[in-house]
Amino acid sequence: MKKMSNIYESAANTLGIFNSPCLTKVELRVACKGISDRDALSKPDPCVILKMQSHGQWFEVDRTEVIRTCINPVFSKLFTVDFYFEDVQRLRFEVHDISSNHNGLKEADFLGGMECTLGQIVSQRKLSKSLLKHGNTAGKSSITVIAEELSGNDDYVELSFSARKLDDKDFFSKSDPFLEIFRVNDDATQQLVHRTEVVMNNLNPAWKTFKVSVNSLCSGDQDRRLKCIVWDWDSNGKHDFIGEFSSTFKEMRGAMEGRQVQWECINPKYKAKKKNYKNSGIVILNQCKIHKMHSFLDYIMGGCQIQFTVAIDFTASNGDPRNSCSLHYIHPYQPNEYLKALVAVGEICQDYDSDKMFPAFGFGARIPPEYKVSHDFAINFNEDNPECAGIQGVVEAYQSCLPKLQLYGPTNIAPIIQKVAKSASEETNTKEASQYFILLILTDGVITDMADTREAIVHASHLPMSVIIVGVGNADFSDMQMLDGDDGILRSPKGEPVLRDIVHFVPFRNFKHASPAALAKSVLAEVPNQVVDYYNGKGIKPKCMSEYESSRTLAP
């Protein structure tokens, strides 16, 4: 076996995975001013939707929370986007009025939009522009976007606040409190970090636990001042001030081992006027948990193996393999598209797999000896051991099985996803980051079992696996884009959403004249983040902490 460092180097050189510029993430914060509504009698309930342009089309990436009855909203939710220095990344921010009885966009009023590039925001750090509606300015409304690089420390912190004996600000009922936390910047400006939900009619609220990046909370400076304000929510948007207090992340870390930290909530006006004034309530931090964010490198260097499986489409639409027009035609000097895609992706994955043994399956053909249709047969015809030795072994098994098959149909891929999911499911019992599964599906057409496939993908999104689909040939692959959750959330037929986006679809024709490395880079670009999202989401640490890891740890 090659030395570990060589493996990383060869893969890094091919893919550019570790030194790739996309390892820079940027947090975007959004605020609007002077939003006007069609209905002059009521204020809008604004929400900002972030869209990104890809191949000339706009796709929704994320959206903020909805702020009720507000014309100058400052949104608490951050957008986190990957920044590629070498790409022009076009962004569109759309402000919509989301009516309270419906959270979709169907009934929403479009209040205005703003287009720019991520580069513009990053280079200016703070970008303010007028909102446009159908090409014209939407009144005096404007939007401001502030960018911050998520540098170095990706750790995040989980905080759980409650309060007791808050001042009552309502005549006929109790206050409806919510808490806002601001970071005080070096230039003394204040940046909203988090806004809790409103707890109705309660002077002793317990707000929901929330997560925020350490970078966002204090810019990595534990002694930076944090200003916390408690408000009494009002439906007209004019919230009443209850009180405030200051703290630091260092102080909040006192709530780590089951201890509590508490502050008096002070209203400066009352304190100045009233002799016997003590406070306007007590705010308590019940827990502060720090979650270490590990990188793709941490997991790979900790010994996580990438288990690579390939599945090949042998349906009749590929054409008779003996005919030179067939997508499965074996040309003596020129590999067909199936082989090109297999080799380009497989060559990289094999560097992360120590035994270099790859299960390879076929679907959509009648197989010997009984010539029954199968959607998950081993192409070496050894059901007990479908593994081939290296990518070359997969290529040889593919070439030798072709003459023995009857290409048939339909194009069902759910069985093969379920088969790999079964292995990935067994892996979850170890509770370790030891094996992550990548299924490469090579297919020439639109799949027939879309409902079962969606169900299988939703199930697989809970497991350590990713699915890459490469479309071979010139079919219409528009249905396949639906499985790649980039333009909305994929759901099972019963409506259950995917836990995380695990499918990446690439049409081979886009890379027909490009290098194999370009195809591999595109196909595998999302894998590092998918690996990290899975293990970090489950709270699973890399198996053995490397020196690299210990150097990244947040100092106590």
What's the residue count for the chain? 556
CA atoms within a 13 Å half-sphere pointing along the CA-CB vector of 463: 26
Non-local (6+) Cβ contacts of 374 within 8 A are: 362, 363, 365, 366, 367
In this structure, the number of other CB atoms found within 10 A of the CB of residue 367 comes to 20
Write out pLDDT tens, residues 214-246: 888 998 888 999 999 999 999 888 999 999 999
Closest by CA to 96, choosing from 64, 128, 126, 74, is 64
| Sheet of strand 210-213: strand arrangement | 210-213, 156-164, 282-291, 261-264
Whether the per-residue pLDDT at 464 is higher than 60: the answer is: yes
DSSP state string for 342-369 = HHHHHHHHGGG-TT-EEEEEEESEEETT
| Exposure string over 14-24, b if 16+ CB within 10 A, otherwise e | bbebbeeebbe
CA quadruple 290, 295, 301, 302: dihedral sign: positive
Q: Which of 94-103, 159-168, 276-285, 489-498 has the lowest mean pLDDT?
A: 94-103
Which of the pair, 343 or 38, is modelled with greater confidence?
Answer: 343
Q: What is the DSSP letter of 200?
A: T
Per-residue pLDDT, averaged over 392-400, amounts to 95
What whole-number percentage of the chain has pLDDT above 70?
Answer: 87
Write out pLDDT tens, residues 359-368: 999 999 999 9
| pLDDT in the model for residue 102 | 52
- Rounded distance between C-alpha atoms, residue 296 and residue 533, angstroms: 9
- Rounded distance between C-alpha atoms, residue 215 and residue 247, angstroms: 16
When the pLDDT of each residue in the chain is averaged and rounded to a whole number, the result is: 85
Phi-psi region of 303 (alpha: psi -120 to 50; beta: other; left: phi over 0): left
CA quadruple 54, 60, 64, 66: dihedral sign: positive
What is this structure's pTM?
0.57
| Exposure string over 27-44, b if 16+ CB within 10 A, otherwise e | bbbbbbeebbbeeeeebb
Q: Which regions of 292-342 does DSSP assign to beta strands (E)?
A: 305-313
Q: What is the DSSP letter of 201?
A: T
| pLDDT in the model for residue 488 | 62
- Rounded distance between C-alpha atoms, residue 484 and residue 473, angstroms: 19
- Rounded distance between C-alpha atoms, residue 94 and residue 46, angstroms: 10
- Rounded distance between C-alpha atoms, residue 254 and residue 285, angstroms: 9
> Virtual CA dihedral for 509, 352, 528, 544, nearest 10 degrees?
180
Q: Which of 110-114, 131-135, 376-380 has the lowest mean pLDDT?
A: 131-135
- Rounded distance between C-alpha atoms, residue 137 and residue 156, angstroms: 39
Per-residue pLDDT, averaged over 155-174, amounts to 91
**Whether 347 contacts 14, CB under 8 Å:** yes
Alpha-carbon Rg for the chain in angstroms: 27
Name the 3-class secondary structure at 197.
coil
Per-residue pLDDT, averaged over 510-518, amounts to 78
Helix (H) or strand (E) holding 263: strand 261-264
Non-local (6+) Cβ contacts of 534 within 8 A are: 436, 463, 464, 500
Phi, psi for residue 31 in degrees, rounded to 5: -145, 155
Most confidently modeled range among 60-69, 162-171, 370-379: 370-379
Whether the per-residue pLDDT at 38 is higher than 70: the answer is: no
**Whether 218 contacts 183, CB under 8 Å:** yes
Closest by CA to 90, choosing from 125, 66, 54, 122, is 54
| pLDDT in the model for residue 546 | 40
- Rounded distance between C-alpha atoms, residue 535 and residue 541, angstroms: 7
Band (288; pLDDT cuts 50, 70, 90): very high
Ordered domains of the chain (ranges, CATH): 23-150 (2.60.40.150), 156-291 (2.60.40.150), 296-408+425-431+445-488+505-545 (no CATH)
Helix (H) or strand (E) holding 49: strand 46-54
Band (11; pLDDT cuts 50, 70, 90): very low
**Whether 30 contacts 64, CB under 8 Å:** yes
| pLDDT in the model for residue 54 | 75
- Rounded distance between C-alpha atoms, residue 155 and residue 253, angstroms: 14
Phi-psi region of 325 (alpha: psi -120 to 50; beta: other; left: phi over 0): alpha
Band (136; pLDDT cuts 50, 70, 90): confident
Which of the pair, 145 or 293, is modelled with greater confidence?
Answer: 145
Tokens of 338: 């199936």
**Whether 531 contacts 299, CB under 8 Å:** yes
Tokens of 330: 């074996």
334 alpha-carbon distance from chain centroid: 39
DSSP state string for 132-190 = EETTEEEEEEEEEEEEEEE-S---EEEEEEEEESPPP--SSS---EEEEEEEE-TTS-E
Write out pLDDT tens, residues 322-360: 999 999 999 888 899 999 889 888 877 877 777 889 999
**C-alpha distances out from residue 133 to 94, 109, 136, Å:** 10, 11, 5
Helix (H) or strand (E) holding 439: strand 435-443
The residue with tokens 């914060």 is 29
